[in-house]
Chains A and B, each alone.
Chain A
Amino acid sequence: SFELTQPPSVSVSPGQTASIACSGDKLGSKYISWYRQKPGQSPVLVIYEDNTRPSGIPERFSGSNSGNTATLTISGTQTLDEADYFCQAWDRTTAVFGGGTKLTVL
């Protein structure tokens, strides 16, 4: 079955660039969405169709997808960006989520 793999954790200093990877077989042939989840809250869509930001999501969030890896990039990371991030793709008619990456900003 199709699987998405994310690193469990990523750390970044405030103001620096955070990159969160998501890998899967031929992932570049699919479109990826990214969701941010803060503790005790529901997930929020931050990127869809690989690199499109919904309204209200800051420009510092961007995405890319090629080969077997998709990447969520947060430029000028702020402390309020600290959260869990999940990638998601569709395997035919089934939504598949990555295991999630805890982003720590310190």
Chain B
Amino acid sequence: QVQLQESGPGLVKPSQTLSLTCTVSGDSVTSATHYWSWIRQPAGKGLEWIGRLHVYTSERTEYNPSLKSRVSISADTSNNKFSLTVTSVTAADTAVYYCARVRVSGTEDYMDVWGKGTTVTVSS
């Protein structure tokens, strides 16, 4: 059974850097058939895709154009984890952050396993 678990600080000060980690169990982050993704959701609002990482293809990354200048996703293959970094955070970055596994499909990819989410608040 594949499980994903987010971890990281729940409170970040404005202008600082937010760093979160997703620990994967039951699968390998080096899988050829999966990307690893981050999604966020402000309280009471919809889902916003942040980006994804394909470790197998030389850690190929793809990001939401609206966030691309401030975000980075990377992997720690030794510990089967992947991470998200968001720089220069503001209150608008306050949200529940989810990590998810993205199944590479012959037609179109889909997010088939999600973590439980971790709440991040940006405040001084």
* A→B interface (CB under 8 Å): 1, 30-31, 33, 35, 41-45, 48-49, 54, 86, 88-90, 93-100
Chain A proximity mask over B101-114: 1 for CB below 8 Å, otherwise 0: 00101011111101
Q: Is A48 a contact of B46 with CB atoms below 8 Å?
A: no
Chain B residues with CB under 8 A of A45? 110-112
Q: Is B111 a contact of A33 with CB atoms below 8 Å?
A: yes
Q: Is A100 a contact of B47 with CB atoms below 8 Å?
A: yes
**Cα distance A1–B39 when bound, in Å?**
19
Number of A-B contacts (CB under 8 A): 62
Shortest beta-carbon contacts, A-B, top 3? A31-B108, A95-B49, A48-B110
Chain A proximity mask over B22-40: 1 for CB below 8 Å, otherwise 0: 0000000000000001010
**Chain A residue at minimal CB-CB distance from B6:** A42
- Size of B's binding interface in residues, CB under 8 A: 23
Q: Is B108 a contact of A98 with CB atoms below 8 Å?
A: no
Q: Is A94 a contact of B65 with CB atoms below 8 Å?
A: yes
**Cα distance A33–B117 when bound, in Å?**
20
Q: A42-B117, A43-B98, A49-B105 are in contact. Are A94 and B49 (CB under 8 A)?
A: yes
Chain B residues with CB under 8 A of A100? 46-47
**Cα distance A75–B48 when bound, in Å?**
29
